[in-house]
Structure 1
Amino acid sequence: MTSLKSKLQEDLTAAIRARDELRSSTLRLTLTAITKEEVGGETARELSDDEVQKVIAKEAKKRREAAEAFQQGGRTESAEREKAEGELLDAYLPKQLSDDELGAIVAQAVEEAKAAGAEGPRAMGAVMKIVNPKVAGRAEGGRVAAAVKQLLAG
């Protein structure tokens, strides 16, 4: 069992013992999503820590989007709960890159792509190939793509 998954299970046990309903339900749902990912596909397998992080990030993003939808629908109580669940899951993820840090990584990747002969907006794919492994798990794809577009256009 991966260390991140076992940490989630230990935290779930502690939350159940402490009768922390929000934490226990959130961790239960997350562990269920991890298990679904493990058994989905052709053969059942155990996920690596990186894959578990991706599942947690996906679940956290779902919570943020749901909170936003509830907020727009005027259901503040549900929005607050979803937001709290998202923040709880964010604690299990690596710290997100700041805009400055992301910009520096993207600028370096643009220079590497130019050195390889890719320039202008058509270099987007080449730059993304360089940037994605460097920022994996620490920045959402949309943020990365926006930063790359901005640097290539400007």
Structure 2
Amino acid sequence: MDLAKYRIQSRTTHGGFPMKIEQITLHHLRMPLVAHFETSFGRIFERDCILVEIQSEGLTGWGECVADRDPGYCYETSGTAWHILMDFVVPQILGKELSDAADFQERVANIRGHQLAKAGVEMALWDLLGQRQGKSLRQLFG
């Protein structure tokens, strides 16, 4: 899929906007694994993640920031993602109306990197959009 083309098309093909972002709650979870996971970095016995909960007009969308506790996979960690979300990403959209599917990316374009943190919010927004339209993500993306 040509992402640049999709971004332009998303402005006209996805209804359900504008969408006012009324509340955002971040949940930092540390979940024990049923069985350890072993990589060249060592054994992992638990998994960190941040769940993003966004409320808009009576609906709740959920997303997940998959940054782990340690920077073994990439530079983002659950700690840095929490900081970026709380201090930079959330203030860009909380209490505001998003005009279309690309609006979120435009609002956070000035925040360099931190793609895992941004993706957690974007997942929750797509979840909300799907609920508003009564469609699955598969149906939204075609």
Scaled by the length of structure 2, the TM-score of the pair is 0.26
Larger helix percent: 1
Q: Which has the higher contact order (CA 8 A, sep 6+)?
A: 2
Q: Rg bigger for which structure?
A: 1
Scaled by the length of structure 1, the TM-score of the pair is 0.25
Larger strand percent: 2
